[in-house]
Amino acid sequence: MSESSENVSNENLGEQLAGEAAVRTRSLWKDAVGRLLRNRLSIIGLIITLFLIISALFGPYIAPYSYTEQDLLNVAKMPSPDHWLGTDEIGRDLFSRVLWGARTATLVAIFTTFISVIIGVIVGAIAGYGGALADNITGRIIDIVMSVPGLLLAALIAVSIKEPVVTWAENIYDTTGFPLFADTTWLDLLVVFGGLAFVSWPGYARLIRGQIFSLREEQYIEAAKSVGVSELKIALRHLLPNAIGPVIVTLTFSFSSAMVLESSLSYLGIGVQPPQASWGNMIASNIGSWSYRPWLVAVPALTLAIVTLGINFLGDGLNDALNPRSKRSI
């Protein structure tokens, strides 16, 4: 009798603890959101990021003109009611092209971040779980990739794989006749994704490895191990939720740096090719005439600057919100 009542009370205690834990988890995220919204800079960042996402999703519907439509009577005109931000050197509406550029930048940033996170998590997990040898080998590979400036390596890769990718797509088109492979614009994007993903995964791999190594020392992981919870379950139930904060912060920062890298490649004529709109190639094609058509350079440049600033402010705010202990330490 007394035994069963003890059991019941134990169960109750367990439920109580679980309940408390649940409340706690919620309040942690609530706390994070609260901290994020209290920070004025991160609110500005959030608004800018929302604007970017809206322009990327609905830009083509908002844009008053197409990104290729030329108005040859109004070439390189200052902003006017017809063309809110003026027209470019061959008479295209600048406002519409900036909106299309938002779509290019966001698309590249999302895909690059996605691919590099996957590679980074896999490599990081191998380094963290594969033992000393695997850790050493992956560490060396990361060092090698990081010893070349990211932009140069991405550019070299993009230049090198461009032809093979195009031939590959042509071959597929010749054999299958699939209309998708006749269009070369997304191949440019594919080449850029490849180059950028190759240079951006090491950051994630290092982060994941570091998280695995530092969290493994925590007592709750040790406790879980000692009661016989499997490695996989520990990874999914304990490591993942605890590592998610730093990963989200890194995601935000690398989102903006992927955007900048895409613009840089496009600026150098390697990435997104005209007439496709990219803020990078818009700046590049007008940089020579900055002194007499300053708005043609200033509009895409300011857009890129504001967007990267905004995303970085958001990332910084998220860093403070999600990792309150490591406040602003790099």
Partner 1 sequence: MFFYTVKRLAIAVPTFIAVLLITFTLTVISPFDPVAMMMTQFEGTLDTLAKEEVIERIRDQYGLNDSYWVQFSRWIGRLMQGDLGISINGQRNVLRMIVKTFPISFQLGLAGAVVTTILGIPLGCIAALKQNTWIDYTIVGGTLGFRTVPVFVLAPLLLVLFVLVLDIMRVPRGWDGLFQSKVVLPVFILALGPLPVVVRQTRAAVLEVFSMDYVRTAKMKGLHMWRIILRHILRNALIPVVTTLGFIAEGLIVGSIFLDSIFAIPGFGGVAEAGFRGFDYPVIMGVTMVSAVMIILTNLIVDLVYPFLDPRIKIE
Cα–Cα distances in Å, from 66 out to 75, 87, 167? 15, 12, 29
Q: Does 43 bind partner 1 (CB under 8 A)?
A: no
Q: What is the dihedral of CA 187, 193, 199, 205, to 10 degrees?
A: -140
User: What's the CA gap between 148 and 152, in Å, rounded?
Assistant: 7
| One residue of 8, 144, 180, 223 binding partner 1 per CB under 8 A | 144
Q: Does 299 bind partner 1 (CB under 8 A)?
A: no
| One residue of 9, 16, 136, 160 binding partner 1 per CB under 8 A | 160
Q: Does 298 bind partner 1 (CB under 8 A)?
A: yes
Asked whether 270 and 153 are in contact (CB, 8 A), the reply is no
Asked whether 211 and 239 are in contact (CB, 8 A), the reply is yes
User: What's the CA gap between 89 and 71, in Å, rounded?
Assistant: 10
Q: What region, left, alpha or beta, does residue 177 occupy, with left being phi > 0 and alpha being psi -120 to 50 degrees?
A: left
User: What's the CA gap between 271 and 158, in Å, rounded?
Assistant: 7
Q: Which of residues 238-257 bind partner 1 (CB under 8 A)?
A: 256-257
| One residue of 22, 57, 148, 180 binding partner 1 per CB under 8 A | 148
Q: Which amino acid is at 196?
A: L
Q: What region, left, alpha or beta, does residue 91 occupy, with left being phi > 0 and alpha being psi -120 to 50 degrees?
A: left
Q: Does 21 bind partner 1 (CB under 8 A)?
A: no
Least Å distance, CB 155 to partner 1, is: 6
CB closer to partner 1 out of 127 and 301: 301
Residues 23-42, one symbol each (x = binds partner 1 by CB under 8 A, - = not), give ------------------x-
| One residue of 76, 119, 161, 251 binding partner 1 per CB under 8 A | 161
**Three-state DSSP class for 70?**
strand
Least Å distance, CB 301 to partner 1, is: 4
Report CA torsion sign: 122, 124, 129, 135: positive
Q: Does 268 bind partner 1 (CB under 8 A)?
A: yes
| One residue of 270, 272, 318, 321 binding partner 1 per CB under 8 A | 270
CB closer to partner 1 out of 72 and 330: 330
Q: Does 163 bind partner 1 (CB under 8 A)?
A: yes
Residues that bind partner 1 (CB under 8 A): 41, 140, 143-144, 147-153, 155-157, 159-164, 256-257, 260, 263-264, 267-270, 280, 283-284, 287, 290-291, 294, 297-298, 301-302, 304-305, 308-309, 312-313, 316, 328-330
